[in-house]
Copies of this chain bind each other. A is one copy, B any other.
Amino acid sequence: MRSLWLNTLTKQSLYRLSTKRYSTNVEPKEPVVKTKSIPGPKSIELKKQLDSVQATGTIQFFADYEKSIGNYIYDVDGNILLDVYTQISSVPLGYNHPRLYKVFNNEQNLKTLINRPALGVFPGKEWPEKLHSVLLNIAPKGLNKITTMMCGSCSNENAYKSIFIWYQNKLRGNAPLTEQEKNSCMINIPPGAPKLSILSFKGAFHGRTLGALSTTHSKYIHKLDVPSFDWPIASFPEYRYPLDENVAHNKKEDEKCLSEVQDLIQQYASKNPVAGIVVEPIQSEGGDNEASPEFFRSLQAICKKNGIALLIDEVQTGGGSTGKFWAHEHFELESPPDVVTFSKKLQLGGYFHNDDFIPNEPYRIFNTWMGDPGKVLLLEEVVKVIQEEKLLANVDVAGKVLKNGLLSLEKEFPHILNSTRGRGTFLAVNCTNTKVRDQIIGALKLHGIQTGGCGEISIRFRPALIFKEYHANIVLDRFRKVLQGI
Contacts from A to B (Cβ < 8 Å): 1-7, 10, 13-14, 17-18, 21, 25, 46, 49-50, 52-55, 57-69, 73-74, 76, 87-88, 90-91, 95-97, 100-101, 103-104, 107-108, 110-118, 120-125, 127-129, 131-132, 135-136, 144-148, 150-154, 157-158, 160-161, 164-165, 167-169, 177, 181-183, 185-189, 192-197, 202, 207-212, 214, 217, 219-231, 233, 272, 343-344, 347, 358-359, 361-369, 374, 378
The 3 A-B residue pairs whose C-beta atoms are closest, nearest first, are: A210-B211, A57-B362, A188-B228
B55 touches A147 (CB 8 A): yes
A65 touches B124 (CB 8 A): yes
Q: Which residues of B contact A153 (CB under 8 A)?
A: 154, 157, 209, 367
Bound Cα distance A112, B358 (Å):
35
Q: Which residues of B contact A343 (CB under 8 A)?
A: 368
| Known contacts A124-B63, A146-B53, A192-B224; is-contact A58 B2 (Cβ 8 Å) | no
| Known contacts A50-B128, A115-B95, A153-B154; is-contact A361 B221 (Cβ 8 Å) | yes
B121 touches A160 (CB 8 A): no
Bound Cα distance A229, B223 (Å):
16
Bound Cα distance A87, B219 (Å):
39
Output the nearest chain B residue to A7 by Cβ-Cβ distance: B17
| Known contacts A53-B146, A122-B63; is-contact A101 B5 (Cβ 8 Å) | yes
8 A-B residue pairs with Cβ-Cβ distance under 8 Å, sorted by A, are: A1-B67, A10-B17, A50-B131, A59-B121, A157-B210, A164-B225, A188-B233, A193-B225
B187 touches A217 (CB 8 A): yes
B220 touches A192 (CB 8 A): yes
Taking a contact as CB atoms closer than 8 A, the residue among B110, B188, B378 that contacts A229 in the complex is: B188
A53 touches B144 (CB 8 A): yes
| Known contacts A10-B14, A114-B96, A151-B369; is-contact A164 B227 (Cβ 8 Å) | yes
Number of this chain's copies in the complex: 2
B68 touches A115 (CB 8 A): yes
Q: Which residues of B contact A122 (CB under 8 A)?
A: 59-63, 73, 87
Taking a contact as CB atoms closer than 8 A, the residue among B64, B108, B151 that contacts A367 in the complex is: B151
Knowing that A88-B118, A183-B220 touch, tell me 11 more A-B residue pairs with CB under 8 angstroms: A1-B67, A1-B69, A2-B66, A3-B96, A5-B17, A62-B127, A65-B111, A182-B224, A193-B228, A209-B212, A221-B363
| Known contacts A66-B3, A145-B54, A227-B229; is-contact A96 B121 (Cβ 8 Å) | no
Bound Cα distance A101, B220 (Å):
44
| Known contacts A5-B21, A209-B210, A211-B210; is-contact A111 B96 (Cβ 8 Å) | yes
Taking a contact as CB atoms closer than 8 A, the residue among B58, B165, B272 that contacts A225 in the complex is: B165
Output the nearest chain B residue to A223 by Cβ-Cβ distance: B185
From residue A80, how far is it (CB to closest CB) to chain B in Å? 9
Q: Which residues of B contact A7 (CB under 8 A)?
A: 17
A363 touches B58 (CB 8 A): yes
A366 touches B208 (CB 8 A): yes
Q: Which residues of B contact A66 (CB under 8 A)?
A: 2-3, 107-108, 111
Q: Which residues of B contact A101 (CB under 8 A)?
A: 5, 110-111, 114
A55 touches B111 (CB 8 A): no
Bound Cα distance A208, B183 (Å):
18
Q: Which residues of B contact A112 (CB under 8 A)?
A: 65
Q: Which residues of B contact A212 (CB under 8 A)?
A: 209-210
